[in-house]
Amino acid sequence: MKKTILIFSTLILLSVNCIANTNLNEKIIKQLNGGSAILQDVSGEIIFSHNADKYMVPASILKIATADSALSHLGKDFRIKTEFYLTKDNYLAIKGYGDPSLVSEELALIAKQLKQIISEKTLDNVKGFWLDTSFFKPHLKVHGQSSSNNPYDSSIGALVANFNTLHVVKTKKGKVTSAESQTPLTPTAIQLTKKLSPGKHRINLGKQESLTLQYFTELMHEFLKKEGINIPVKIVHKAIPENSELLMVHQSKPLSDIIKDLLRYSNNFTANQLLVILGGHKKGIPADLNKGKEVVIEFLENTVGLNHFTLEEGSGLSRKNQFTANQIMIILNHFKPYQNLLRIDQQHFQAKTGTLKGISTYAGYILSPSGDSFPFVIMINKSKWGSIRKKVANLLYQMIL
């Protein structure tokens, strides 16, 4: 009798769970509105799947693929160098290799280090700055990048400061100040804010490499000046002469730290800088976007095991990027050792969002109360609101409880 009751109770429980999961399935599919989603358990079994083989625009969740490729090829401890020389005719020469983390704090540190070296050599009269950007092919254009003033449209380059952006405040009376205490106000910053309305502005430096290098030089000038080294803002832009003397090599923070920031802040500039750097290291100099694309495509095909996808650039800006939810899931399974580089969102998700006009995506790992991680992908290409992907994610979370 007890055995019969136990079996009956179990059947009722299974029936209730089945009904509950059916209701969740219906709710998720309704929210997706033609989009796709997939959820996997820790053993690789599929818990939920809808339109998982449908090609869609991934937006910024593509950054996970770029990050995975960079970490796999270069290693988490890889550092990007920037070289400093003194030419025979007394120019401070700087050769860039695409370090995306050359922010004001790093430039200030570099200036302090150069002060020690330059004072030791009793250099009284440095004529100007000699800038070498030959590691990157010039005039690189990222597909999907517009000519807007928005920071996410900032251009990439071999020698770039502060993500090729500046942050300023303009008063109603027209006075301009830096919005960052660590960043000096330069003539270029003042010039670019002339036509802006009062308020706080973060703007990119446009598509002119000359303007990018001008701003970089002005910042270096200001930081060196604080250290008592006054080098004129005179720029020579060409390859550094072979007979120049190497003063120092600045190393970036580890690649894992750069990628953690990339994924946290969804930095398009950093993603495509890394794409080009990959191209240079694996396909030769000058590094460019096509070489970088080749490296990531070969990685996704030969190492991760994907086929029949379209990758146009590394950040997710381009709508030509086409992946299925299943393919993103395969990338997530390969990226699992680096899961902790993704930020934790709403306590239950360690994931990356993606947003373009009409497109909303979300991919990463659902964190269960037991401590397990469940990979998931959500891709909605008809969405007006990012909140829909969060609703779907919360419904997927209910499926693992």
Q: What was the pLDDT predicted at 22? A: 76
Nearest 5°: the CA angle 208, 224, 233 is 40
State the pLDDT confidence band at 194, using cuts at 50, 70 and 90: confident
Q: How many CB atoms lie within 10 A of CB 360?
A: 24
Position 94 pLDDT exceeds 60: yes
**Cβ atoms 324, 53 nearer than 8 A:** yes
pLDDT at 9 over 50: no
Tens of pLDDT, residues 154-189:
889 999 999 999 999 999 988 999 999 999 999 999
Confidence band for 14, pLDDT divided at 50, 70 and 90? very low
Asked whether residue 13 carries a pLDDT value surpassing 50, the answer given is: no
Assigned token pair, 353: 């969002």
- Average model confidence (pLDDT) across the chain: 91
pLDDT value for 1:
54
What is the C-alpha to C-alpha distance for residues 375 and 186, in angstroms, rounded to an integer? 46
Query: Residue 219: is its pLDDT beyond 90?
Result: yes
pLDDT band of 337, cuts 50, 70, 90: very high
- CA-nearest of 332, 269, 316, 245 to 102 is 269
Per residue in 368-389, pLDDT (tens digit) is 999 999 999 999 987 777 789 9
User: What are the structural domains of the chain?
Assistant: 30-75+260-400 (3.40.710.10), 81-253 (3.50.80.20)
Task: Please name the helix (run of DSSP H) or strand (run of DSSP E) that holds residue 356, with its range, or none.
Answer: strand 349-356
pLDDT digits (tens, 9 = 90+) for 277-315: 999 999 999 999 999 999 999 999 999 999 999 999 999
Name the pTM for this structure: 0.92
Q: Which pLDDT tens digit goes with each residue over 340-367?
A: 999 999 899 999 999 999 999 999 999 9
Arithmetic mean of pLDDT, 207-219:
92
